[in-house]
Structure 1
Amino acid sequence: MHFARMPLSVFTRRRALQVSAGSLFLAAAAPATAADANPVDRGRVREGEVRFPAIVKSNEAGERDAEGPLPDDQRVGFAVVALGRLSVEQILPAFAQSRKAKLAALVSGSPAKLQVLGRQYGLGEDQLFTYNDFEKLASIEAVRVIYIVLPNALHKEFVLRSAALGKHVLCEKPMATNSADAEAMIAACKDKNVKLMIAYRCRYQPHHKELIRRVQNKEYGPVKLIEAVNAQNQGDPSQWRLQKALSGGGSLPDIGLYCLNATRATLGEEPAEIQAVLNSTPNDPRFREVEESVVWTMRFPSGALAALSTSYGTHRASRMAVHMDEASLILDHAFPYKGQRLSLVRAVDGLETETVIDVTAKDQFALEIDHMAGCVLNNSAPTTPGEEGLRDMRLMAEIYQAAESGARLKL
């Protein structure tokens, strides 16, 4: 039998790998002692976490997250109420990215959805509930927070029912369909001494937080103008978002609310004046009950002006720009679930330059859920409590009034 001659370099590499593998096997097989130092796995348990020594120089950026996930028995259990598109496609998967929360129960009017999703997420029959069984959540100790993901008009009923059970509440935005309901929700939760947080996911999104930090630190001078748009082309006219009795309104409370809340959060101020224009395409069946498009301006006590717009009848658009004395911050894809890009535009050495700001994206829903879980664990107030949702409800009512009257409203 004839063998081709093997180059020495190949033999040397293979032999080295064999020796290394054998050494690792012997090291693993040898009895471990406290003094042993594994040359491959340098991880050590310290203060309840697995930690590793740095492998880069001290002038390199670190890659370790600030904290590891909590053990399962220390996580805050959530019951998710309503298994529509948002819950199934975004909220439920987000629990896999959570550090402090876990899915503990599901509530739905669809037994088929409960069975399928219960199996997918490893829940038992005793963790699946219909709306008629809702009050049984009171006896489920693992459920500490109830996440309301129902149509807007049902938020008040289920927030009040949740508070009556002594459970903390995370409620989707908009908070309600009117300010009176929002006030009742806040009062009920205070009466039962439970927390109420409104699910403004963008307020926990890293790009938004970095934008707010830079603006409020006044790194580029005072804010003069803010532009924001959030628009999309709605489809099926029969969907609940286009039925005023369930939604409370059209594009403004659904997606325009993101522009309103982000502007208030960025400036850290409340508007002093509002003007608005509303329009719906005649004979479009989608807009028989709710508005299609709204454009509104706000003046703030600092002198900053905001020009905001929203629509249910255009190709998708989502952008926010903050214009300051020395620079502009541009947040592209500002309000979708992913794809945010934050850039700084300013003059450098006499040349206009755009610099993309490096921000690590994370699951917005996981961050939002973890914030609520942290508030429960630490007995702290949410960043977006019920009062924040109420402010937006009142301002949206003013926007509608300004559009109807054609007047500039002083607030």
Structure 2
Amino acid sequence: MANARELALQTLTDILVNQAYSNHALNDKIEKNDLTVQDKNFMAELVYGTLQNEQLLNFYAAPFFKGKVKAWVRILIQMTLYQMLFLDGVPEHAAVSEAVAIAKKRGGQFHGKLVNAILREMTRSPLASLDTIEDETQRLAIETSHPLWLIKLWSKQFGQEKTQQMARANNERVKMAIRVNAVRGTREELKQRLQAEGVECKEGYLSEDALIVLKGNPLKTQTFKQGWFYVQDEASMLVARALKPKHHARVLDTCSAPGGKTTHIAEMMRQTGKVYAHDIYEHKLKLIEENVKRLGLTNVVTSLQDATKLNECYDKESFDAILVDAPCSGLGILRRHPEIKLTKKPSDLDEIVKIQENILEAVAPLVKVQGTLVYSTCTVNRKENDKRVEWFLNKHPEFELDQTLVSRLPEVLAAQTKNGMVQLFPGDYQTDGFFIACLKRKA
């Protein structure tokens, strides 16, 4: 039987040193090793807990490092410290002894003694206090393990209180949300089917299509194989509702991988019309095709295309609706991908804005008069969101914001849906941070 802690260390090293995606690295290790359900859950807890608190753990651990240590040793110390500080069910002595055993196995007696010495000193000495950090912004950044530049950005754009809320929400555990395939049946029917296979769910907070998984793994069920649902965050589910495609419509999804919004749109059209789904990467296009096939949808057409060049592929005014679920900085999905906090730089935000603008420019002429253009991102950054919509409208006076968007979204979002746009923040409704804007072509 594989050792969960050892595999967690390998996974964290892949992420922190080799810049692998957290979900891919974790799933790869789980699939390739014989683990009990309990060990899988423990391993995931170690990986995501250490990643989410990496900066805080480093703040506590740094004073105990005498000189340079190898990256895997630093990560092992952080992972062990996470267990000691955050996991009540793990005895301190067990966490330490397991770490020493892993260090000996991986680096020999020297590293075993080194790790033992560092951890023993940690157990005997008081850890540094966050109160020693006088600057409130810097203290929040370290406490919640967010880069200082991001805390400053959010504080400027949304205020200190909202920034604190978001930063703390980003370190909370995520429950899986799934979207019923309306072509197969109703949400209640899906709930009953999953319950019969040992999976407990409750209705979602926002989306009428959503179930929140409370117990069990729905991905291991026959219900999943038979295409009854798609795993998707509730905020993301609102995009297709905002678009509200009509039956027999012709819809363009510009950046559609892995296919969540594409398939939702197709389901809402009840197998009529066509949804043209594109992505720039072949392996991502295959993901769309696999999901379309599993869900049993017949009205999706996939094609490998660069979204910035779609105006070269289609005639002007040839689509009733277009979705630009734009490439973005991903600052709204830090709960799911905490490694973004460690790798994203301020300059990345400026670079992605150019791509967003190029995509919008390419598809604007393809929208029919009275047609709909929905722009969405999974980020919390005004420069990529409402400021990008403002930029677009200044260049394209033939479009206007659709004030009726509020009628297509949950009533609870009415107060924050303004001028055809809505920004969801992490921590508001147990969802990711997400932005949606709906525009109409008037001429």
TM-score by length of 2: 0.27
Relative to its length, the structure with more helix (as a share) is 2
**TM-score, L = length of structure 1:** 0.29
With a CA cutoff of 8 Å and minimum separation of 6, indicate the structure with the bigger relative contact order.
Answer: 1
Larger proportion of strand:
1
Look at both structures and tell me which one has the larger radius of gyration over its CA atoms.
1
